[in-house]
Amino acid sequence: MNKIYFLLILSTSLVFGQEKNENRLIFNPNFTISFVTNNYFGDNYLAKGHKDPGYGFQMRSDWLYFNKFGFGFGVEKSTQKVSDFAIGGNIQKTNSNSIFCFLTYNFNINQKLSLNPEVNFGGIELRQKSGGKFYGQQNGQRFGSGLNINYKINKTFSIFSNVGYSIYRLKTNTSDEFINYFNRANSINFSIGIKLK
């Protein structure tokens, strides 16, 4: 997670260190809040021991633009219920928390509709809970790609949706034969919300 904080501080320094007459690099923040689902698949702990999909919310901010490229950061929180206690252990749910940065490219289809393919990178933390008790956590990294679809309602509001694919690499102390099972996961993600400009 420290790498992500470093990237955010570095990009902030770049923004405010620009000359006023620089026309190509623009600071113009947009904020998005959306409902998100994570659909895990494959032979791994999150897919086999939990119910699909996981539900949560995501907040994003596009804030730095260079020509048609945009840079920003986001946070996401979701919860997935345990379905197989033989795999998941004596817990009820796994909470997933992540912070990430992303790079997008803007395609304007018309005055209202735009498509933004993106790549993203960040950190993830899984926290196992049952009732009000905390039973442990795993940390790792997430890598992803996706497509954002924005439909402008007016100058302030847009409808935002995203379909994406994420790869998770976690750090779990386990025997060699179970490393791939506990330390690797994949998900297809869908989200819908609003974007404020």
Predicted pLDDT at 19: 43
187 close to 169: Cβ distance less than 8 angstroms: no
Task: Write the CATH number for 62.
Answer: 2.40.160.20
Q: What is the β-pairing status of strands 107-108 and 69-81?
A: unpaired
Q: Is the pTM here over 0.85, yes or no?
A: no
Tens-digit pLDDT string for the chain (197 aa): 555 444 444 444 444 444 444 457 898 899 999 999 999 999 888 888 888 899 999 999 998 999 899 999 999 999 998 887 666 566 788 899 999 999 999 999 999 999 999 999 999 999 887 777 777 788 999 999 999 999 999 999 999 999 999 999 998 776 677 777 888 999 999 999 999 98
24 close to 67: Cβ distance less than 8 angstroms: yes
Predicted pLDDT at 7: 46
83 close to 46: Cβ distance less than 8 angstroms: no
Predicted pLDDT at 159: 97
Predicted pLDDT at 85: 67
Residue range(s) defining the domain that contains residue 40: 2-196
For residues 69 and 165, what is the distance between their CA atoms, to the nearest angstrom? 20
Predicted pLDDT at 89: 63
171 close to 1: Cβ distance less than 8 angstroms: no
Predicted pLDDT at 20: 46
150 close to 13: Cβ distance less than 8 angstroms: no
For residues 180 and 176, what is the distance between their CA atoms, to the nearest angstrom? 8
Predicted pLDDT at 72: 96
Domain count, the chain: 1
Q: What region, left, alpha or beta, does residue 33 occupy, with left being phi > 0 and alpha being psi -120 to 50 degrees?
A: beta
For residues 81 and 93, what is the distance between their CA atoms, to the nearest angstrom? 4
